[in-house]
Amino acid sequence: MTRPLVLRGGRIIDPSQNLDVAGDVVVIDGKIVHAGPRGGVPDGAEIVDCTDAIVSPGFIDVHCHLREPGREDVETIATGARAAAAGGFTAVCAMPNTDPVTDNQAAVGFVVRQGQKANSARVYPIGAISVRQEGHALAEVGEMVGAGAVAISDDGRPVASAQLMRTALEYARTFTIPVVDHCEEPTLAVGGAMNEGIVSARLGLRGVPTEAEEIMVIRDILLGRRTGGHIHIAHVSAKGSVELIRWGKDRGIAVTAEVCPHHLSLTENAVEGYDTNAKMNPPLRTAEDVAVLGEAVRDGTIDVIATDHAPHHYDEKEREFADAPNGIVGFETALAVVVTSLVGPRIVDFATLVERMSVAPARIFHLPGGSLARGRPADITVFDPAREWVVDPAQFLSKGRNTPYAGRKLRGRAICTVVGGRIVYHIAAQEH
């Protein structure tokens, strides 16, 4: 039984209650009892000073790769969960492209148990759409949901077959879970290492055109219309995709979408010098795409900001560009990148940031959290919106060090992360 907790003197921002007020958040028995102007302090309460900090419902990352089982050398569920907590996340959804693939009840159960043992940010498994993610046979969705899966996805790969995507959307309706698609038309994207454009032409690297994403986005939206299922578009990178998602939403189709911080802040120019830490899938695109995506976060066409945290071993990235694997870590830089790139330039305010990083993820994926209303589980993020720091991958709690932000000065840092009323991260501990 943990002590009561008071997060005192911060700026409480909770879009789920339209709340933006200075005050305290009081937690008893893992539940929120008060969030507002100064309340009382229960006996024996632990007090966390939140002066100059923002206190919000805990961030939820609906897209990450924890590499366990199979690549524990690169990340485990435990190290990943702790890294997420250090980034202010109180919950993460782990993609199933592990080894073996998380495509059955037992595998989902394993992830759940490992997450519980980690005792840090909550870990919700996402199950595979197809057995072994091979794109043929539907996996046992019901069993996986029963064991704790909150969504299904073949992420890492696209669902190449429209027929399979249709079936998945229809079948998933029974369990009211979203189907998450990594939108990439395989024949257009084959061999591509970066965005197709002037930079790829100069560097002599094969490019992936934006159409590879856009074609699958509209395909999935149309199938969503046909089936009534809920399609969630993963890591949107192209402005064309934003237009298509808007088209779908205007017609009442159940489509939601996420964007990653790197697609909100970096362009294909980050690949100059063949930096493999700028290599990810979908690739970084142009300044125009970045601008449109930022605007889409503001107006809600993009519902959610997710990290697509994808750790890789140093040796794997220390290779010729074309051979290096795709992906960067994201937990510990996500908040700062969003604050620096979107809030700083006033594209988005903090209320919207919290909406996209907490309220909407919880709503869309039907997860507990996303609100500081009385009686809700005490998943809380306390962050300093003004704190400047220089990104040093050697300090990451994640095992992965592959980030394009190394050495950059960013603004915004998680100070304290609370899960179920328990402090799972405090910056003071890390700064020793």
Residues annotated as part of the active site? 308
When binding is defined by CB under 8 A, the residue of 28, 47, 222, 322 that contacts another protein is 322
Least distance to another protein from the beta carbon of 322, Å?
A: 5
Candidate list 21, 137, 198, 429; residue touching another protein; CB under 8 A? 198
Q: State whether residue 273 is helix, strand or coil.
A: helix
Q: Is 375 in the site for another protein (CB under 8 A)?
A: no
* Rounded Cα gap, residues 198 and 90, in angstroms: 40
Residue 48: Cβ-neighbour burial (10 angstroms; 0-12, 13-18, 19+)? buried
DSSP state of 339: I
Tokens of 235: 């890591």
Task: Give all strands (DSSP E) within 219-352, no chain letters.
Answer: 231-233, 255-259, 304-305
Using CA atoms, how far apart are residues 121 and 183, in angstroms rounded to an integer?
A: 28
Site membership for another protein, residue 134 (CB under 8 A): no
Select from 323, 409, 429, 430 the one that contacts another protein (CB under 8 A): 323
288 lies in the site for another protein, by CB under 8 A: no
Is residue 287 part of the contact set for another protein (CB under 8 A)?
A: no
Stretch that binds another protein, among 42-50, 199-207, 332-340, 362-370 (CB under 8 A): 199-207
Please report whether residue 205 would count as binding another protein according to CB under 8 A.
yes
- Under rule CB under 8 A, residue 202 binds another protein: yes
Q: Pick between residue 29 and residue 99 the one whose CB is nearest to another protein.
A: 99
Q: What are the φ/ψ torsions at residue 120 (nearest 5 degrees)?
A: -130, -125
CA-closest candidate to residue 120, choices 430, 420, 429? 420
Does 209 help bind another protein (rule: CB under 8 A)? yes
Nearer to another protein, 190 or 373 (CB): 190
Site membership for another protein, residue 320 (CB under 8 A): yes
Is 200 one of the binding residues for another protein (CB under 8 A)?
yes
CB of 98 to another protein, least distance (A): 21
Minimum gap (Å) between residue 216 Cβ and another protein: 20
Q: Which stretch binds another protein (CB under 8 A): 25-33, 153-161, 201-209, 342-350?
A: 201-209
Nearer to another protein, 103 or 184 (CB): 184
Smallest distance from another protein to CB 317, Å? 11
298-317 footprint of another protein as x/- string (CB under 8 A): -----------------x--
Decide whether 175 or 274 has the Cβ nearer to another protein. Answer: 274
Question: Any contact of residue 406 with another protein (CB under 8 A)?
Answer: no
Enumerate the β-bridge partners of residue 259.
305
State in angstroms the smallest separation of the CB of 94 from another protein. Answer: 27
Name the burial class of residue 251, with classes exposed (0-12), middle (13-18) and buried (19+) by CB atoms within 10 angstroms of its CB: exposed
Ordered DSSP codes for 185-252: -HHHHTT--EESSHHHHHHT--EE-THHHHHHHHHHHHHHHHH---EEE-S---HHHHHHHHHHHHTT
Contact pick of 175, 247, 274, 389 for another protein (by CB under 8 A): 274
For the residues of 139-194, what is the DSSP string, one character each?
Answer: P-HHHHHHHT---EE-TTS----HHHHHHHHHHHGGGT--EEE----HHHHTT--E
Tokens of 161: 């077959």
Q: Is 319 in the site for another protein (CB under 8 A)?
A: yes
- Does 188 bind another protein (CB under 8 A)? Our answer is no
Cα 170 from Cα 354, distance rounded (Å): 31
For residue 371, give Cα distances in angstroms to 62, 100, 145, 367, 389.
Answer: 16, 35, 24, 11, 28
Q: Which residues contact 299 (CB under 8 A, 6 or more apart)?
A: none
Closest approach of another protein to the CB of residue 201, in Å = 4
Question: Shortest approach of another protein to residue 405 CB, angstroms?
Answer: 20
- Residue 42 engages another protein in binding (rule: CB under 8 A): no
Binder among 197, 300, 344, 368 for another protein (CB under 8 A): 197
Within 10 angstroms of residue 267's Cβ, the number of other Cβ atoms is 18
Which residues of this chain interact with another protein, rule CB under 8 A? 190-191, 196-198, 200-206, 209, 273-274, 315, 318-323
